[in-house]
Structure 1
Amino acid sequence: MADTAAPPAVERSLRGFVGAGYDKGRPLLVQAAWFAVLNLVFVQWWFPARWRPALLRAFGARIGHRVLIRHRVRVHWPWRLEIADDVWIGEGAWLLNLEQITIGSNVCVSQGALLCTGSHQRRHRTFEFDNGPIRLEPGAWVAARAVVLRGVTVGRGAVVGASAVAHRDVGPGAVVTTGVAA
């Protein structure tokens, strides 16, 4: 009979965390400027949706045409964001892009969705980063309050259903759900 014992628990020392190997991609002054603009202007309901792509471009994002970004959308690092044409990003979505997020054409990221490129090495004593890029291929849909985790590609025309979590690649045309009967 095979030994199925769980590996020993890791004694964490978060005080020792150094973020080894992680580069934020811009100087501290640019990071601070973006956070000021993000929180004072970009996420606000009164800031016109048609100006949001231009503001992201000013901070290094590559944004296509006819991109609609609603209010309360949070983008961690604009310089690590690429969005193709005809994309919708719904109210309250969070693009936590410590690494690159690439969004293909005709993609919908619905209200409250989270695209999270960051994680940690769970077996590492100081819990160092374990980040990876996210790619949403053309025609994909990340539905309301869904989560796409680091290193995942959501294939062409695939759907990550409402409140579902995509923790591994989603093939073209596939649908990920929470397992609740419709």
Structure 2
Amino acid sequence: MKPVINYINSLLFPLLPETSCFALKRGLLRLAGAKIGKNVRICSSVHIMGCGELVIGDDVWIGHEVFISTTSRIEIGSYVDIAPMVYLGTGTHRIDADGLHSAGEGISRNIKIEDGAWLCVRSTLLPGVVIGKNSVVAAGAVVTKDVFPYCCVAGIPANVIKIYDK
């Protein structure tokens, strides 16, 4: 993503109607360097920051007040639904128990969300996770490790609570 254009987008998005002008929002994000598929619908209150890569497939919904922070790569498959107030972040720190700050060296790890997944309201995806195909991340869950396809995870940290029959 191009930080300057992304910053300008952060000023323009709030001026647009929350759940319309989707083609314009897709175009603005493409100008900033994101790869955006067809029929992607992004609410105006979404916050996207960072200089990493953002790839979004077709027919994706990104809801109100979602926060996307990419310092490496976030890949969102097709037919993914992201509910309001979800957090996706690729950056973290190594713990430095001996330093003045416990948050030591900064590191980045990619996030991948496979086709058909559903991230429910206020869920959090931490750096380095893969959300499997057609999986559900329950409301408020904090995902710290990969989620298998066709299952539902919930809790802090998120654990499998249901496996779906295909």
TM-score (norm: length of structure 2): 0.83
Alpha-carbon shift at residue 64 of structure 1 (Å): 0.4
Structure 2 residues not aligned, in runs of 5+: 162-166
Measured in 2, the distance between the counterparts of 1:35 and 1:121 equals 28
3-state SS of paired residue (1:42): helix
**Aligned counterpart, 1:8:** none
Aligned residue runs from structure 1 range 61-72, under 5 A:
61-72=34-45
Measured in 1, the distance between the counterparts of 2:148 and 2:14 equals 32
Q: Which has the higher strand share?
A: 2
Q: Quick one: which of 77, 85, 88 aligns to 1:115?
A: 88
Structure 1 runs of 4+ aligned residues shifted over 3 Å read: 43-47
Residue-by-residue CA offset, 1:18-60 (whole Å, 9 max, x unaligned): xxxxxxx7xxxx523421331x212444372331111000111
**Aligned counterpart, 1:36:** 8
Task: Give yes or no for contact 1:44–1:72 (8 Å, CA) kept in 2.
Answer: no
Q: CA distance change for structure 1 residues 130 and 79 in 2, over 3 Å: closer, same or farther? A: closer
**Aligned counterpart, 2:164:** none
Query: What RMSD, in angstroms, separates the aligned Cα atoms of the two structures?
Result: 2.1
Alpha-carbon shift at residue 123 of structure 1 (Å): 2.8
Q: Percent identity?
A: 32
Query: In terms of Rg, which structure is larger?
Result: 1
Alpha-carbon shift at residue 96 of structure 1 (Å): 0.9
Task: Give yes or no for contact 2:78–2:116 (8 Å, CA) kept in 1.
Answer: yes
Alpha-carbon shift at residue 91 of structure 1 (Å): 0.7
Count of residues in Structure 1 that have an aligned counterpart in Structure 2:
151
Pair 1:173 & 2:117 matched: no
Measured in 2, the distance between the counterparts of 1:82 and 1:135 equals 9
Alpha-carbon shift at residue 145 of structure 1 (Å): 0.5
Alpha-carbon shift at residue 79 of structure 1 (Å): 5.6
**Aligned counterpart, 1:149:** 126
3-state SS of paired residue (1:130): strand
Task: Give yes or no for contact 1:158–1:170 (8 Å, CA) kept in 2.
Answer: yes
Alpha-carbon shift at residue 128 of structure 1 (Å): 1.1
Alpha-carbon shift at residue 83 of structure 1 (Å): 0.4
Residue-by-residue CA offset, 1:121-180 (whole Å, 9 max, x unaligned): 01363611121000000001111000001000000011111010110000001211127x
User: Which amino acid is 1:81 matched to?
Assistant: L
User: Which amino acid is 1:132 matched to?
Assistant: R
Measured in 1, the distance between the counterparts of 2:32 and 2:75 equals 16
Q: CA distance change for structure 1 residues 78 and 106 in 2, over 3 Å: closer, same or farther? A: farther
Q: Quick one: which of 105, 124, 129 aligns to 1:128?
A: 105
